[in-house]
Structure 1
Amino acid sequence: MAARVVSDGLRPFLATETGSTLVLLAATAAGLVWANSPWGDTYDTFWRTDLSLHLGTHAFALNLRDWVNTGLMAVFFFVIGLEVSREVQFGQLRDRRMIAVPVMAALGGMILPALIYFALNAGGAGAHAWGIPIASDTAFVLGLLAVIGTRCPEPLRAFLLTLSVVDDVGAMLVVAIFYTENLWVPALLVALVFVALIVALRKINIWRAPAYVLLGIGVWAATLKSGVHPTLAGILLGALVLVYAPSGPKLLRAGELVQALSRDPSPELAREATRSVQRTVSVNERLQFRLHPWTSYVIVPIFALANAGVRLDAETLRRAATSPITLGIALGLVAGKFAGVTLGAWIPLRLRWGDLPGDLVWGQILGGAAVAGIGFTVSLFIADLAFADDAALQSQAKIGILVGSSLAAGLGWLVFRLAWDRGAVCAPPAPSGPPDERDVEPEPLPPVTGGDHVLGPADAPVTLVEYGDFECPYCGKAEKTLARLRERYGDKLRFVFRHFPLREIHPRAVPAALISEAAGDHGLFWEMHGKLFDNQLALTDADLTRYADELGFDPWTDIDRHRARVNADLESGERSGVMGTPSFFINGEMYEGDHDLNSFVTAIDAALKSSGTKDFQPGL
């Protein structure tokens, strides 16, 4: 069976990132409103308020904004480090062919924006700030996809998430190497000693949360004292947290203890059972579960509130409009990211270094490349470092970030509107292995029989066969086009629907297919077919039962027979070369064109012409 498009570990990550976007937008708007209100002077005054922590004669004295940018954001990058570690060992980053394209796309999306910025600022006061437009904002990018993307965005989200992780790691390396001033080596050596102790504890398989927390705080504090930005410590500490797959012995032991507890409850047994159940899931994943909502809903919005507030008066905007810093950042985020990510994805695909998840099409890749230019969080972060001592230049940089990110979002929306699903299908990743093992010559399409679901006369000169999935959004969108084709061609077109449920990415596809077959027993297949496509977001068992009640039949009879019928369609499609949905065949030949009306009309007209249909008129 093919691998899942998105690993189970990524699903809560994606859900949290997209769900927190509105909170992040609200915090950004609040920062802008505050800074431009009649009480705008209090914005900087508040965030520059000193907050000190004293331990004996030692003290950390930072203002509130610095605590947010160096302390809270270290937790944010700690979570990024956790995700990197998990994905390297068990997720997308483990498969070299699956990571080659997003990694190269990320590198292209970092290099080209930096070059564009530097070309406009070489020799100027802002030349050193070339790192500002290099990173993408994961939360904004994934949140925007939830708003303007398709209902089947997992492959693109997985691609962009991998790209963003590489982006974040690259950005932190840039911060450490190019934005570190006054390096104090003794403190850096202390930080390395603490890291070595953590590694040693992990090597001897000792994990104690209090010890790790104390050592982690030590790494952070020593890194801060060294002059290296402590957020780098956050991502390193996250990568060091233990991660492992659930093991049979751990699961078995946990089950035994839970059963023993149910027979003879005691405080000691309850404690041991609780610990045993916890150990079935790695510390890495437990920490992600606990911390990720905090970073997405609290820490990143607080960061936006503390850093997005920039004065937008006439004089500031006038200077920004002619500032090479503002223009360099905006162009880097919009043009640089778009071209860099696109070129970076094209090169490894052209050279066959890697594959894309889920049979993505170029309309989706281009849209993803456009929204990758939303460089909000990390861009603001680097702008604060690059122009720490120049408020005017920092203001111009922030305006460039806001303008560039907004334009990138608009460009992404436009690309998605024009080209999102041209020829797109829902599909699991291609199976791994050498090409000669994966490429099998397809068999001829099975002929239409009395057992097929058919609309149109048997003697129609053109037969259009669809292999579809009731949960696939592209199939749902194609329904309107197919209805117009049947209306346009009438008796000259016979339409056949066959099942191809994608279990790996559409968990409700098989039950929906079974219900449609149950409806077919009562001569109601096409009525149920229409209901299912009209309600693709409501396909739970309760929903399916309600649809059956509305049509007046018992949906859950002869399930084994219906499952055999669905599997037969699925197997026939696989033998004929179907890899995703919707897939179409016109008179037995696989249709490779786009799924819009004009493309179908062109192909069907060609089939009518070649069939020698009398009174044929193009586009009838």
Structure 2
Amino acid sequence: MNVSTKLFKDFFESEKAGGLILIFCTIVSLIVANSAFGNSYQEFWHTQFANHSLEHWINDGLMTIFFLLIGLELEREIYLGELSNIKDALLPIFGAFGGMIFPAGIFLLLTFGTIGQSGAGIPMATDIAFALGILSLLGNKVPLSLKIFLTALAVIDDLGAIIIIAIFYTKTILWTNLFAAIGIFGFLLILNRLKVRNLIPYLLGGVAMWYFMLNSGVHATITGVLLAFAIPFGSGNEKSTSYILQHFLHKPVAFFILPLFALANTALTIGDNVGEILLQNYSIGIALGLIVGKPLGIFLLSFTAVSLGICKLPEDLNWKSIIGAGFLGGIGFTMSIFITLLAFSDPNIINNAKFVILVSSLIAGLLGFLYLKISAK
């Protein structure tokens, strides 16, 4: 087993287990939030520490580490993995592109000119952990190529979400701090070119870059992706700096950071106005975007690219598999909730959108699981 295959297996296994833990944490969080301890539970996440709430530290601090892992995985995919061969990479690239455009288009059709319009990025995202967690439940009934396709698609999807966050969800920029962050990034790139392999200066520089990015107006989690590409990749073997850090981060992210994010961001009180929540134009946009737009966009653009001879479908895959992966791509959860926090300022809209994301992701996951299970027979 080569290094790239081993890391993909590690990544898939950690995301698979992490996805199942995310489901458990979400259920627990919803139960506690709607129990007699609901108010205390919600207040806990708003406990102030160093002028910020615990929820803020998780969303702007710990999630930067999650984005760092995504960046490292993306870098590996580009150098050694599914994205290293442009012919192989084009299928998940087109799929991811369709999976972003169609949901956003559906959402904007329903919300254009309303207060919900700013949430167009919400249904564009795919949750890697949840999607791979559901796919893993099918075991050997799905081919390895589908797991690789979905992983590459979700990683590209996350890159798209990161770009969207940087461009569309940055409101006020403090240029001095932004230039300081960019300057630190440039310094780390110089260290990379000088073949400095010690992780310590990169991590210290990453913390400083995060601080200035946090105070620049650009979302601080972008730092994680920038840092990933500054860290030396080398040959990508087990002794490379990038490999060592990526391998180390798998378990803390899957078993601590993402579950903590789920607990902090799904403390939702479900009242008796569920019908009213689901009928809001942004709610319908999120639901249709994730459940319909995702699979439709992923399938149509993948099919178009293959039909035009731009790329080819792996031999062990068929279009039913791609449709099934498209439904799993509709599991937004982590990234969708993350974008919700940036898109809206009204607490009621945020809570409503979170609830719809949970329901829609559950439906998309069930549809994907059942569709792939039936088609495998």
Which band: TM-score by shorter chain? over 0.9
Distance 1:363 1:154 in 2: 15
Asked whether the 8 Å contact 1:159–1:357 carries over to 2, the reply is: no
Distance 1:212 1:383 in 2: 31
Identity of aligned residues (%): 36
SS of the aligned residue for 1:309 comes to coil
1:298 aligns with 2:247: no
1:491 equivalent in structure 2: none
Summarize deviations over 1:64-108 as a string: whole Å, max 9, x none.
Answer: 101000110000010011111111111111100101010010010
Q: How does 1:61-80 map to 2 (within 5 A)?
A: 61-80=51-70
2:154 equivalent in structure 1: 164
Amino acid across the alignment from 1:20: G
Shift of 1:152: 4.8
Shift of 1:358: 4.8
1:390 aligns with 2:363: no
1:207 aligns with 2:163: no
1:420 equivalent in structure 2: 376
Question: Which of these residues, 290, 305, 324, is aligned with residue 333 of structure 1?
Answer: 290
2:144 equivalent in structure 1: 154
Question: Which of these residues, 285, 303, 307, is aligned with residue 350 of structure 1?
Answer: 307
Amino acid across the alignment from 1:189: F
Summarize deviations over 1:502-529 as a string: whole Å, max 9, x none.
Answer: xxxxxxxxxxxxxxxxxxxxxxxxxxxx
Distance 1:326 1:285 in 2: 41
Q: How does 1:300-449 map to 2 (within 5 A)?
A: 300-315=258-273, 317-387=274-344, 389-420=345-376
1:223 aligns with 2:193: no
Shift of 1:43: 2.8
Shift of 1:151: 4.1
2:36 equivalent in structure 1: 38
Question: Which of these residues, 22, 47, 52, is aligned with residue 20 of structure 2?
Answer: 22
Asked whether the 8 Å contact 2:94–2:301 carries over to 1, the reply is: yes
Amino acid across the alignment from 2:117: A
SS of the aligned residue for 2:330 comes to coil
Asked whether the 8 Å contact 1:108–1:341 carries over to 2, the reply is: yes
Task: Give unmatched runs, 5+ long, in structure 1.
Answer: 53-60, 248-279, 422-620
Distance 1:75 1:110 in 2: 24
Distance 1:418 1:30 in 2: 30
Q: How does 1:579-594 map to 2 (within 5 A)?
A: none
Shift of 1:37: 1.0
Q: 1:172 to 1:239 in 2, by over 3 A?
A: same
Distance 1:284 1:66 in 2: 28
Distance 1:415 1:35 in 2: 32
Distance 2:229 2:71 in 1: 5
Summarize deviations over 1:463-491 as a string: whole Å, max 9, x none.
Answer: xxxxxxxxxxxxxxxxxxxxxxxxxxxxx
1:124 aligns with 2:114: yes
Structure 1 or 2: more helix by fraction = 2
1:245 equivalent in structure 2: 235
Q: How does 1:92-131 map to 2 (within 5 A)?
A: 92-131=82-121
SS of the aligned residue for 2:311 comes to coil
Summarize deviations over 1:144-185 as a string: whole Å, max 9, x none.
Answer: 011135345321010011101110010011111111122111
Distance 1:116 1:148 in 2: 30
Asked whether the 8 Å contact 2:199–2:241 carries over to 1, the reply is: no
Summarize deviations over 1:557-614 as a string: whole Å, max 9, x none.
Answer: xxxxxxxxxxxxxxxxxxxxxxxxxxxxxxxxxxxxxxxxxxxxxxxxxxxxxxxxxx
Distance 1:106 1:404 in 2: 19
Asked whether the 8 Å contact 1:367–1:420 carries over to 2, the reply is: no
Task: Give unmatched runs, 5+ long, in structure 2.
Answer: none
Q: 1:199 to 1:115 in 2, by over 3 A?
A: same
Summarize deviations over 1:330-364 as a string: whole Å, max 9, x none.
Answer: 11000000100001211111111112345311121
User: Which 4+ residue blocks in structure 1 deviate beyond 2 angstroms?
Assistant: 6-9, 148-153, 207-210, 244-247, 355-359
1:48 equivalent in structure 2: 46
1:188 equivalent in structure 2: 178
1:479 equivalent in structure 2: none
Shift of 1:209: 2.3
Once structures 1 and 2 are overlaid, which stretch shifts more, 146-155 or 34-43?
A: 146-155
Distance 1:289 1:148 in 2: 25
Asked whether the 8 Å contact 2:278–2:356 carries over to 1, the reply is: no
CA RMSD of aligned residues (A): 1.7
Distance 2:329 2:140 in 1: 17
Distance 1:304 1:357 in 2: 35
Asked whether the 8 Å contact 1:363–1:420 carries over to 2, the reply is: no
Amino acid across the alignment from 1:304: A
Asked whether the 8 Å contact 2:70–2:225 carries over to 1, the reply is: yes
Please give the TM-score of this superposition, normalised by the length of structure 1. Answer: 0.59
Distance 2:350 2:208 in 1: 31
Please give the TM-score of this superposition, normalised by the length of structure 2. Answer: 0.96
1:533 equivalent in structure 2: none
Distance 1:7 1:341 in 2: 25
Summarize deviations over 1:515-562 as a string: whole Å, max 9, x none.
Answer: xxxxxxxxxxxxxxxxxxxxxxxxxxxxxxxxxxxxxxxxxxxxxxxx
Asked whether the 8 Å contact 1:325–1:400 carries over to 2, the reply is: no
Distance 1:140 1:353 in 2: 30
Asked whether the 8 Å contact 1:145–1:153 carries over to 2, the reply is: no
Distance 1:328 1:245 in 2: 44
Asked whether the 8 Å contact 1:134–1:171 carries over to 2, the reply is: yes
Structure 1 or 2: more strand by fraction = 1
